[in-house]
């Protein structure tokens, strides 16, 4: 940080201290003349540098409030990282490449966007693809520049957090939405950053440290490929950056352990809340070659500190039959308080896990909240008296249970318990629960308890029945907890879900292993057309050619669409819905056109290459599939046509060599229309 930037920070801190003494304590420590002199100096430096901090006393505008937090899409997904608790895995992760070891801040991930030197957008990470706009609150952060001298587009991510000393001061004076005091700094930071009223956010002392740059600074060619160099340039603009240490390619686990201790001591000394470390490669170009999964980027790994454990007494196992028939075991134990929450239940995963712990009623167990989120039984302190608590019949329908062995993590075999009765009430109920979930059809306010009531009175047998509950109006209004108003609210919520998307619909169909990530991949490839996905599956399209779709997922898609009941559901349910992209509304008309006698491409293999004017890469492949043809990735003797755009390259030469018919994009479109 330059001396000028340091002076700006110093003046902001001093003047805010003097303002607090004057206005809040009625005990000024300097004269008005001294204050005015320092104020004038700060104002002059802000004009000279273009750096204006969010908590600068020169910014006299009020703090805004909004009525709700709008959603915002992240063009570059803000994904998580893989995790480990072993330093040896950090050393192995390096693979002879330089990296940064950085504090894993315990707050809320925030993205900032600057245009022409001005802050134009602040947002939360959300689910990685979609977050919430919090621009109104950024001015209430105490160390984010609202104006910077860099005039290009600059997009960065960092963490909004509350220093431990500030949390200790605030925790006894504030309560959360449950009316109870906040128990940790992370929860207070998260709630404060997402406040509708920036005045409230300002009182919470939110700080920001940048830890990654997503866009911008391309003109800095000498350092543009170095994450550390770009981060170290940010303090010149007034930003704080997350503390880190460089890690050389050949460092050992012992070397990294020393650096972890150094950074941990720094965090403790500086009152910075952390819950681990992050190791990320320094080179942006190398990072880009490593790709991503649906959950995380592969260019970094998070090192999590060991979770704290709490002793309690195990009492029993509750068995819950899910929608697939697998019966999940849940441990019931004496209540313990972990991170401010009362915990008395935790998943026991499977039969192998239960037997491995040698559980029996009355034994002492150690419980944690892994990653401060998921309750977990870590150990049995009273081993040696295992009791078989596995039920012989389904806890819901009473039908015999079945044990099944399958491959678990790292290829180890695990035993699970199943109910094979397709009419099991619990299985049916949980299928409806999945269908109504936010990630699926997003029917707000439709709880598991309400669904159970609707099933019990015979109002729900199929998913389509949800959209015709008016047939059971009188019966539903007569249910406990219902009335005219609650019935109308339920119908309104269900009708809102009629406006849906490709992704939500596919998730709702509950195809094994096809969740949101896989559905988004299919959405992109098939251009939002459910019809084209169906045709591709029935034609045994090789879904593994799509990055992120593996052999088992591809097989599941083929099997699901070969089931006549599934095909009937797929088609009939769409008649109840309206798709936001509008593509499937055209399906019936397209079917007549594409499968007619004039379709010259049915059964052909077509490869597209070069830059096309009217299609994206996914778009042209979707169009090829809609014609009953197969999109190819390389030119071979089996290729029937090559669609050629600008900068075609080697595929054009190969097609000419093999004598394959080459079409321009316009010729391809003319043949479709003819």
CA–CA distance, 334 with 377 (Å, rounded to integer)? 12
CA–CA distance, 550 with 110 (Å, rounded to integer)? 32
Question: Could you tell me which residues are beta bridge partners of residue 145?
Answer: 53
Whether the CB-CB separation of 357 and 380 falls below 8 Å is answered with yes
Q: Which of 14, 25, 104, 355 is catalytic?
A: 104
The Cα angle at residue 143 between residues 108 and 372, in degrees rounded to 5? 20
Residue 274 CB coordination number (10 Å): 22
Residue 611 CB coordination number (10 Å): 11
Residue 289 CB coordination number (10 Å): 10
Cα radius of gyration rounded to whole Å, the chain: 30
Whether the CB-CB separation of 370 and 309 falls below 8 Å is answered with no
Phi and psi at 428, nearest 5°, equal -65, -45
β-bridge pairing 326-338 and 341-347: antiparallel
- Burial of residue 624 (number of CB atoms within 10 Å: 0-12, 13-18, 19+): buried
Please report, to the nearest 10 degrees, the dihedral formed by the alpha carbons of residues 503, 509, 513, 514 taken in order: -20
3-state class of 417 per DSSP? Answer: strand
CA atoms within 13 A on the CB side of 179: 0
Beta strands in 134-290 (DSSP E): 145-147, 154-161, 207-215, 244-247, 274-281
CA–CA distance, 353 with 347 (Å, rounded to integer)? 10
CA–CA distance, 143 with 51 (Å, rounded to integer)? 11
Alpha helices in 24-160 (DSSP H): 32-49, 87-94, 135-138
DSSP state of 624: H
- Of 64, 72, 44, 65, residue with least CA distance to 56: 44
Whether the CB-CB separation of 657 and 635 falls below 8 Å is answered with no
Residues near 607 by Cβ (< 8 Å), separated by ≥ 6? 631, 632, 633, 634, 635, 639, 641, 642, 643, 651, 655
What is the spatial order of strands in the sheet that 80-84 belongs to?
Answer: 80-84, 296-304, 274-281, 99-105, 244-247
CA–CA distance, 460 with 397 (Å, rounded to integer)? 18
Kindly list the distances between the CA atom of residue 254 and the CA atoms of 171, 248, 257, 265, in Å, as whole numbers in the listed order: 38, 13, 5, 17
CA–CA distance, 625 with 14 (Å, rounded to integer)? 66
Whether the CB-CB separation of 124 and 132 falls below 8 Å is answered with yes
The Cα angle at residue 375 between residues 373 and 380, in degrees rounded to 5? 145
Phi and psi at 472, nearest 5°, equal -115, 30
What is the spatial order of strands in the sheet that 661-664 belongs to?
Answer: 630-632, 605-609, 641-644, 661-664
Is 611 known to be catalytic?
A: no
Give, for 337, the enclosing helix (H) or strand (E). strand 326-338
Residues near 116 by Cβ (< 8 Å), separated by ≥ 6? 151
Which residues are designated catalytic?
104
């Amino acid at each position: 940080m330059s001396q000028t930037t340091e002076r700006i920070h110093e003046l902001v801190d001093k003047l805010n201290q003097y303002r607090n003494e004057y206005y809040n304590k009625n005990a000024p420590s300097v004269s008005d003349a001294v204050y005015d002199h320092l104020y004038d100096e700060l104002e002059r430096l802000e004009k000279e540098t273009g750096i204006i901090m969010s908590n600068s006393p020169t910014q006299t505008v009020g703090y805004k409030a909004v009525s709700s937090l709008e959603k915002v899409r992240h063009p570059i997904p803000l994904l998580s990282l893989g995790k480990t608790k072993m330093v040896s895995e950090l050393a192995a992760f390096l693979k002879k490449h330089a990296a940064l070891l950085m504090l894993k801040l315990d707050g809320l991930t925030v993205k900032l966007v600057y245009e022409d030197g001005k802050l134009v957008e602040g947002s939360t990470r959300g689910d990685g693809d979609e977050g919430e706009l919090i621009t109104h609150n950024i001015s209430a952060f105490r160390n984010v520049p609202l104006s910077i001298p860099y005039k290009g587009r600059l997009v960065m991510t960092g963490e909004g957090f509350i220093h431990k000393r500030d949390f200790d001061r605030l925790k006894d004076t504030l309560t959360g939405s449950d009316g109870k005091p906040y128990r940790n700094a992370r929860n207070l930071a998260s709630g404060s950053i997402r406040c509708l009223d920036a005045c409230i956010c300002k009182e919470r002392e939110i700080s920001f440290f940048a830890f990654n740059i997503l866009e911008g600074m391309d003109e800095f060619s000498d350092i543009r490929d170095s994450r550390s160099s770009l981060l170290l340039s940010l303090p010149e603009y007034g930003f704080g950056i997350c503390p880190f240490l460089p890690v050389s390619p050949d460092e050992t686990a012992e070397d990294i352990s020393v650096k972890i201790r150094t950074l941990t001591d720094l965090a403790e000394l500086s009152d910075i809340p952390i819950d681990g470390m992050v190791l990320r490669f320094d080179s942006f170009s190398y990072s880009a070659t490593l790709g991503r999964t649906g959950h995380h980027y592969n260019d970094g790994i998070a090192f999590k500190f060991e979770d704290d454990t709490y002793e309690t007494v195990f009492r029993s196992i509750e068995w819950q039959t899910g929608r697939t028939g697998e019966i999940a075991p849940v441990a019931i134990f004496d209540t313990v308080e972990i991170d401010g929450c009362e915990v008395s239940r935790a998943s026991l995963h499977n039969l192998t896990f239960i037997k491995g712990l040698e559980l029996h009623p009355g034994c002492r167990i150690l419980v944690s909240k892994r990653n401060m989120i998921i309750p977990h039984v870590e150990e049995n302190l009273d081993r040696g008296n295992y009791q078989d608590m596995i039920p012989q019949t389904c806890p819901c329908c009473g039908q015999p249970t079945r044990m099944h062995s399958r491959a678990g993590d790292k290829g180890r075999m695990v035993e699970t318990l199943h109910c094979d009765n397709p009419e099991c009430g619990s299985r049916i109920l949980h299928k409806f629960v999945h269908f109504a979930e936010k990630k699926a059809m997003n029917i707000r306010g439709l709880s598991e308890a309400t669904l159970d009531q609707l099933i019990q009175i015979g109002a729900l047998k199929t998913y389509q029945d949800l959209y015709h509950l008016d047939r059971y109006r009188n019966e539903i209004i007569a249910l406990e907890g219902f009335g005219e108003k609650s019935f109308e609210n339920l119908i309104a919520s269900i009708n809102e879900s009629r406006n849906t998307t490709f992704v939500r619909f596919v998730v709702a169909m509950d195809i094994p292993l096809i969740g949101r990530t896989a559905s988004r991949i299919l959405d992109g490839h098939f251009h939002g057309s459910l019809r084209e996905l169906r045709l591709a599956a029935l034609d045994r399209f090789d879904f593994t050619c799509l990055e992120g779709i593996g052999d088992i997922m591809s097989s599941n898609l083929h099997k699901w669409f070969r089931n006549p009941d599934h095909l009937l559901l797929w088609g009939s349910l769409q008649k109840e819905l309206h798709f936001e992209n509008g593509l499937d509304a055209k399906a019936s008309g397209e079917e007549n056109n594409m499968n007619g006698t004039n379709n010259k491409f049915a059964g052909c293999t077509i490869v597209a290459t070069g830059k096309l004017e009217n299609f994206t890469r996914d778009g042209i492949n979707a169009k090829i599939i809609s014609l009953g043809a197969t999109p190819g990735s390389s030119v071979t003797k089996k290729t029937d046509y090559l669609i050629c755009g600008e900068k075609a390259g080697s595929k054009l030469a190969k097609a000419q060599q093999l004598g394959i018919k080459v079409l321009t994009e316009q010729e391809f479109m003319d043949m479709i229309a003819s």
